[in-house]
Structure 1
Amino acid sequence: MAGKAVGNILRLPREIVITVGLISGSQFVNHMYLVLLPPILTILVGEFEVSLALLGIALGVQALTNTAFQLPFGYLADHYDRTIALGLSSFLGAIGVLIVAVSPSFRWLVVGQAIIGIGVAGHHPAHYPLLTDATPESIRGRAFSVYNFGGMLGFAAPPIIITAIITLPGLTWRHAIGALGFVGVAYAVIITAVFSRTLGRDITEPNVTDTGRSGEFLDRIRTELRTLVAGSEILVLALLALIASTANWALSSYTVVFLTEIYEIPLEQANLTLTGLFLTGSVGVLAGGSLTDRFSPTPVMFVSFIGLTVLVSVIATSAAPAIVAIGLLLVIGAVRSLEGPARDILTERLSADGTVGKSFAVVTIGLMLGGTIAPPMFGYLIDQFGVQEAFFVIAAVAAIATAVTVTMALRIDAISELTPIPRD
């Protein structure tokens, strides 16, 4: 599946290959930043002498600043230059990672997380317009799936890299996080330089030619808000993204805690399971892209959410043996990732002319609000009631996402109006 999707992209014109390849690599780096702490939460509890709920707040702060800067970066990408938006966000994210690596206290850890969030905020508003303008509609679902494949590999990398580094004599989690930060700096230099030199203005130029500089600032804000409210389908999609993201981030943040506490699995093996969950997710996004190209987006999303609901419910009972629970988590990784390319295609098709960057920014706000809410909320639930009970709540949130998907499909008449684009 992965080889076929990547092969299809590699046979395309050079500019498309460069754009899809480097943006997928950027998504890899970007997603590494989002899961720096879950593999070491139990270590940080002891080092900084804080509760799991407080560490959940640190995770949520990153998502909060990410959310707050989505629209500013979306405006920059839509009205000025996408390469500038991407380069600026890439450097800021890497700086935040390095601050986390050297943080002398919990407060500095939170500062680093906040800066990471600001940096990560610029990626989706720049990535999606670049991908949309660089690829023909007939292969866009597969391009999005390759892009999301890179993101899922990025999620998978930190648990195994951090585990490998901290097991070496004399090295700690700080060395591991620092190494990832330096990788981020190097990639920020590469992608900014290559895009500045090789991509044409038809790909990097703004969607909106009139920047509105002559208008008053408040008038421009009111115009932007009216545009967003008019796109009610995008707001519904953002709500769905928020609900789904809450379930997914809770699962990603506390899978290691669940396995170590309920099944008493060693930390190294639990982190390998988390990596496996993301790796199977990378296969899921490729399958999701192909299914979305063949069918319409909403059925793919429905299958993804109903599968997540059922499987997490089974795991939450802890009735299955440890090896079966690990296997189910790997299946969940693939099932929950089917909806990513479908959601991306739905966002692009529902966007009005000149609002692709802002539309993806709005949907990403939903995603990141889920990332803001889930870690502290579920950290508190675990502290107060237990990790098993928290996983039942994750299943309930996934069930709500399923219901919203059905409602949305009826609202936009997805079967008749959002049919797949015929392939050449």
Structure 2
Amino acid sequence: MPAMASSTAGSVPLPPLRQDAGVIGLVGLAHLVSHFSQLLLAPLFPWLKDALNASYVELGFLMTIFFVVSCGVQAASGFLVDRHGPRPVLFGGLALVGLAGFGFAASTSYWMMAAFAVVAGVGNGVFHPVDYTLLNRKVSAPRLGHAYSFHGITGSLGWALAPALLVPLAIAFSWRVALAAAGALAWVVMLVLWLKRDRLDLPKAAATTPGAAKAGDATFDFLRIPAVWMCFAFFLAYAGVLSVVQAFAPEAARQLHGVPVALVAACLTIYMVCSAGGMVLGGFLASDPSRCERIVAAGFGLAAVVALVIGLAPLPALAIPALFGAMGFASGIAGPSRDLLVKRSTPENASGRVFGIVYSGLDIGQAIAPLVFGSLMDHGRYAGVWLGLVALQALLIASAFNVRRVRRTALAPA
């Protein structure tokens, strides 16, 4: 008898593991580039400040440009994905990220950097609608939890790779060499995906073609689904959590607990590595979609308890990195179930549009949160930073359960 993957409960045979794994691996590689592109500039701010004669506020505004543009593109690109398929949109995004890297490297003024921040934002904006359309339509349902887990892990690795690659190159050569290397990396990944492009093509029957929409599946009907907007609110709060952890939490912990600078630098790396480990476990837990809300609540609930302890309790400095690791692991457990919540709210043939709108909440949150929490840092309210993080995590728990309660079908037009 030929080798065959195990069947689902409905006796429908699963495709070979190698087939699903190939799609998951290629999509994960693209997702790594997306997260990598989000940190192209921030690790190089000490060099760019002198080279461009810019303040940190001006350099931070480059990131605001990136995320605002990415937000708009992310919402719009979902429509392109549903109409033309994910593959051409993905290659366009990778090409633009690479172009932005080379453009940053060649920039001779602040405004040139700002222009290429727009290019980078456009490139970054396509990845989530593309990724989730490919995963949802090409990976078998019993393996989706693991697919989302691997997708989240590659995103965390992209964040970790950016400073690990760019800073040593900037020290050894220059910031221009570092950014040119970033552009080259994006184009190398694009070449790899091009060589494997047949695995990224959707079956004709699965693609949405112009005029193929059925009654009740009109282009904008999904915007009248309350669960979609609850998912958007969830990701808006999640972006705030990410922004606080990446930009302010380590320094706030240093000020509260006297953490040595060397340990402060390690806190974010430990958080990301442990988050990736949590996603591995979360992929197994997400095999039962009916418990997604409870897994999200447990993960972010534990993370909120850890954040509350860091913000209010007297702690030895050496305990802080370990607590960052615990917080990252707990948050990582919730990752795959978080993505399944969105999938359960997605109408047939609308993956690109729904994930585009929902994940645009990430960009909006990452554009807003630095303004709010940066003000707390400027005023020395370091405990307030941690309490704000706890509040955001509590909001994540509440919104996850509300996704389950609200309607998952379009409201009737007025």
Q: Does 1:192 align with 2:194?
A: yes
2:252/2:377 contact within 8 Å kept: no
For structure 1, the 5+ residue unaligned runs are 1-10, 214-221, 414-424
Cα–Cα, structure 1 residues 112 and 258, in superposed 2: closer, same or farther, change >3 Å? farther
Q: Which residue of 2 aligns with 1:333?
A: 328
1:93/1:120 contact within 8 Å kept: yes
Residues 115-142 of structure 1: CA deviation (Å, up to 9, x unaligned): 2111011111111111112111111111
1:85: Cα distance to partner?
A: 0.6
Q: Which residue of 2 aligns with 1:421?
A: none
Partners in 2 of 1:25 and 1:165 — Cα distance? 22
1:313/1:395 contact within 8 Å kept: yes
| Corresponding letter in the other structure for 2:270 | G
Kindly report which structure 2 residues correspond to 1:111-260, keeping only aligned pairs within 5 A, or say none. Answer: 111-168=115-172, 171-195=173-197, 197-202=198-203, 207-211=207-211, 224-225=219-220, 227-255=221-249, 257-258=251-252
Partners in 2 of 1:145 and 1:367 — Cα distance? 18
The number of residue pairs the alignment matches comes to 389
Kindly report which structure 2 residues correspond to 1:268-283, keeping only aligned pairs within 5 A, or say none. Answer: 270-283=264-277
Q: Which residue of 1 aligns with 2:3?
A: none
2:129/2:352 contact within 8 Å kept: yes
TM-score of the two chains, using structure 1 as the length reference = 0.82
Partners in 1 of 2:147 and 2:342 — Cα distance? 15
Q: 1:286 aligns with which of 273, 280, 295?
A: 280
Q: Which shifted more, 49-58 or 156-165?
A: 49-58
SS in 2 for 1:65: helix
Partners in 2 of 1:351 and 1:362 — Cα distance? 11
Cα–Cα, structure 1 residues 12 and 173, in superposed 2: closer, same or farther, change >3 Å? farther
1:352: Cα distance to partner?
A: 1.0
SS in 2 for 1:322: coil
Cα–Cα, structure 1 residues 229 and 29, in superposed 2: closer, same or farther, change >3 Å? closer
Partners in 1 of 2:310 and 2:47 — Cα distance? 25
1:33: Cα distance to partner?
A: 1.2
Cα–Cα, structure 1 residues 46 and 327, in superposed 2: closer, same or farther, change >3 Å? farther
Partners in 2 of 1:249 and 1:134 — Cα distance? 32
1:312: Cα distance to partner?
A: 2.1
Partners in 2 of 1:117 and 1:387 — Cα distance? 31
| Corresponding letter in the other structure for 2:70 | N
Q: 1:306 aligns with which of 301, 309, 315?
A: 301
Cα–Cα, structure 1 residues 152 and 172, in superposed 2: closer, same or farther, change >3 Å? same
Cα–Cα, structure 1 residues 107 and 366, in superposed 2: closer, same or farther, change >3 Å? same
TM-score of the two chains, using structure 2 as the length reference = 0.84
1:165: Cα distance to partner?
A: 3.2
Cα–Cα, structure 1 residues 98 and 200, in superposed 2: closer, same or farther, change >3 Å? closer
Cα–Cα, structure 1 residues 281 and 187, in superposed 2: closer, same or farther, change >3 Å? same
Residues 219-241 of structure 1: CA deviation (Å, up to 9, x unaligned): xxx9533x133221111111111
Residues 345-397 of structure 1: CA deviation (Å, up to 9, x unaligned): 12112211111111111111112211221233323332344555333322222
1:66/1:120 contact within 8 Å kept: yes
| Corresponding letter in the other structure for 1:207 | A
Q: 1:85 aligns with which of 78, 82, 89?
A: 89
SS in 1 for 2:196: helix
1:325: Cα distance to partner?
A: 0.9
| Corresponding letter in the other structure for 1:210 | P
Partners in 2 of 1:188 and 1:62 — Cα distance? 21
1:23: Cα distance to partner?
A: 0.8
Q: 1:358 aligns with which of 353, 364, 369?
A: 353
SS in 2 for 1:351: coil
Cα–Cα, structure 1 residues 163 and 77, in superposed 2: closer, same or farther, change >3 Å? same
Cα–Cα, structure 1 residues 12 and 279, in superposed 2: closer, same or farther, change >3 Å? farther
SS in 2 for 1:321: coil
2:286/2:292 contact within 8 Å kept: yes
Partners in 1 of 2:52 and 2:248 — Cα distance? 19
Partners in 1 of 2:406 and 2:46 — Cα distance? 44
Partners in 2 of 1:46 and 1:260 — Cα distance? 26
1:177: Cα distance to partner?
A: 3.1
Q: Which residue of 1 aligns with 2:314?
A: 319
For structure 2, the 5+ residue unaligned runs are 1-14, 409-414
1:74/1:126 contact within 8 Å kept: yes
Partners in 2 of 1:307 and 1:324 — Cα distance? 17
| Corresponding letter in the other structure for 1:327 | A
2:225/2:407 contact within 8 Å kept: no
Cα–Cα, structure 1 residues 243 and 107, in superposed 2: closer, same or farther, change >3 Å? same
Identity of aligned residues (%): 21
RMSD: 2.9
1:152/1:279 contact within 8 Å kept: yes
Kindly report which structure 2 residues correspond to 1:340-379, keeping only aligned pairs within 5 A, or say none. Answer: 340-379=335-374
1:167: Cα distance to partner?
A: 4.3
Cα–Cα, structure 1 residues 315 and 163, in superposed 2: closer, same or farther, change >3 Å? farther
1:68: Cα distance to partner?
A: 0.2
Partners in 1 of 2:253 and 2:169 — Cα distance? 21
1:166: Cα distance to partner?
A: 4.0
Partners in 2 of 1:166 and 1:257 — Cα distance? 23
Q: 1:71 aligns with which of 70, 75, 79?
A: 75
Residues 128-164 of structure 1: CA deviation (Å, up to 9, x unaligned): 1111121111111111111221111112212333343
| Corresponding letter in the other structure for 1:284 | G
Partners in 2 of 1:348 and 1:110 — Cα distance? 35
Q: Which shifted more, 349-358 or 108-117?
A: 108-117
